[in-house]
Homo-oligomer: A and B are copies of this chain.
Amino acid sequence: MLRAEGKAVHQCDSGWVPVFVDQEQSISLMSVGFLLERPDEAVVWRGPKKNALIKQFVSDVAWGQLDYLVVDTPPGTSDEHMAAVDALRPYSPLGALVITTPQAVSVGDVRRELTFCKKTGLRVIGVVENMSGFVCPHCNECTNIFSRGGGEELARHAGVPFLGSVPLDPELTRSLEEGRDFIQEFPQSPAFPVLAAIAQKILNETPVQLS
């Protein structure tokens, strides 16, 4: 998605140097993918090994001065989530952005993730509903392929902010498939205004000292 496949992580005195994904070096990235010898290699790791690496990704990477550190976790509430929360606790994380799709099966899983946040004392920045309706580019009619409204109902029920519904968007997929800059090249796409509004809400309530 970020055209970073095949890039290498180097060592410096202060740790691993993350991979920079843009010319301006405004976004840096760390992934287990960079540490594999072959890209097809399966990461067949049990919990303790994963936990140790997540800890290292927080403490042993020369991140430098950051405005935001975004940790993208798998679904569920297991080793990865506990390890990330434990490793980040000393840095007072802003909180969890919780993503669901609209249908009941997904909302049920995400409800348990909200319980996890509560248990571990992690603030919930808000809930986002993804894959929320599809507007046909041929006839402009909307179909709620995966039902609709589950995310908003979940947020209300849990008493946390609802940040928006991101529609299914073939242009967003295309941007990710081709590693293109969504913000620059797809401002007319259906998902763009929703994603921009969600980002703005998060920025508004989590002011950072821009360096």
Residues of A participating in the B interface, judged by any CB pair closer than 8 Å = 1, 39-48, 50, 74-79, 81-82, 103-105, 108, 111-113, 115-116, 119, 134, 136-139, 141, 143-147, 168-170, 173-174, 176-177
Stoichiometry, as copies per complex, reads 2
Tell me whether B168 and A116 are in contact (CB under 8 A): no
Tell me whether A134 and B139 are in contact (CB under 8 A): no
Tell me whether A145 and B173 are in contact (CB under 8 A): yes
| Residues in B whose Cβ lies below 8 Å from that of A138 | 136, 139, 141, 143
- In the bound assembly, the distance between CA atoms of A104 and B40 in angstroms comes to 13
| Residues in B whose Cβ lies below 8 Å from that of A144 | 170
Tell me whether B74 and A116 are in contact (CB under 8 A): no
In the complex, what residue of chain B is closest to A43 when comparing beta carbons? B77
| Residues in B whose Cβ lies below 8 Å from that of A50 | 78
| Residues in B whose Cβ lies below 8 Å from that of A139 | 136, 138-139, 141
Shortest A141–chain B CB gap in Å is: 4
Tell me whether B105 and A147 are in contact (CB under 8 A): no
Q: Contacts A44-B77, A48-B47, A177-B103 hold; do A145 and B170 have CB atoms under 8 A apart?
A: yes
Q: Contacts A42-B119, A112-B42, A177-B103 hold; do A143 and B147 have CB atoms under 8 A apart?
A: no
